[in-house]
Structure 1
Amino acid sequence: MSFFRSHGLDFAYEIAGRGPPVLCIHGFASSGKVNWVDTGWVETLVGAGYTAITFDNRGHGRSSKPHDPEAYHPALMAEDAVGLLEHLDFPRAAVLGYSMGARIAAFLAYAHPDRVAAAIFGGMGINLINGLADGNDIIAGLRAPAIEDLKHPTARQFRIFADHTGSDREALAACMETSREPMARADVRRIEVPVLVAIGEADEMAGRPEPLAELLQHGQPFVIPRRDHMRATGDKAFKSAALEFLGRTFPAGQDS
Structure 2
Amino acid sequence: MDTQRSFSFSSFDGTELAVHRMGAGRPVLLLHGLFSSAEMNWVRFGHAGKLADAGFEAIMPDLRAHGASGKPHDPESYPPGVLARDVAALVAALELDDYDLVGFSLGARTAARSVIEGQRPRRLVLAGMGLEGLAGWNRRAAYFIDAIDRFDQVKRGDPAFMPVSFMKTMKIDRVAARLLLQAVDDTDPGELARITMPTLVLCGDKDDDNGSAERLAATLPDARHVTIPGTHMGSVTEGALGDELVAFLGG
Give SS of 2:82's match. helix
- 1:245 deviates by 1.1
Partner SS, residue 57 of structure 1? coil
Give the residue type in structure 1 aligned to 2:21.
I
Displacement of 1:49:
0.6
Matches within 5 A, 1:19-34: 19-34=25-40
Shift of 1:107: 0.9
Does the CA-based 8 Å contact 2:88-2:119 persist in structure 1? no
**1:162-201 to 2 correspondence within 5 Å?**
162-179=167-184, 181-201=185-205
Moved over 6 A (4+): none
Q: Distance in 2 between matches of 1:145 and 1:56?
A: 23
Amino acid at match of 1:46: A
1:252 maps to what in 2? none
Scaled by the length of structure 2, the TM-score of the pair is 0.89
CA-atom RMSD, angstroms?
1.9
1:129 aligns to 2:132 (yes or no) = no
Q: How many pairs were matched up?
A: 244
Letter in 2 for 1:27: G
1:222-233 aligned at under 5 Å gives the runs 222-225=226-229, 227-233=230-236
Query: CA offsets per residue over residues 191-225 of structure 1, 9 Å max, x none?
Result: 11111011111113121211111111111111223
Provide closer, same or farther for how the CA distance between residues 121 and 73 of structure 1 changes in structure 2, counting only shifts above 3 A: farther
One-letter amino acid of the structure 2 residue matched with residue 175 of structure 1? L
TM (norm. structure 1) is 0.88
- Given that 1:24 and 1:95 are in contact with CA atoms closer than 8 Å, whether structure 2 keeps it comes out as yes
SS at match of 2:211: coil
Distance in 2 (CA, whole Å) between partners of 1:132 and 1:224 is 27
Per mean C-alpha deviation after superposition, the further-off stretch among 88-97 and 100-109 is 88-97
Could you list the per-position Cα deviations for residues 5-64 of structure 1 after superposition, in whole angstroms to 9, with x for gaps in the alignment? 012211011111111001010110011111111121111110111000011111111111
Structure 2 residue 106 is the aligned partner of structure 1 residue 100? yes
Partner of residue 159, structure 1 = 164
1:198–1:222 contact (8 Å) kept in structure 2: yes
Runs (5+) with no aligned partner, structure 2? 1-5
Instruction: State the percentage of identical aligned residues.
Output: 32
Q: Which amino acid aligns with 1:84?
A: L
Look up the match of 2:8.
Answer: 3
1:209 aligns with 2:204: no
Which residue of the partner structure matches residue 239 of structure 2?
A: 236
In 2, the alpha carbon distance for the partners of 1:118 and 1:73 equals: 27
1:182–1:4 Cα change, 3 Å: same
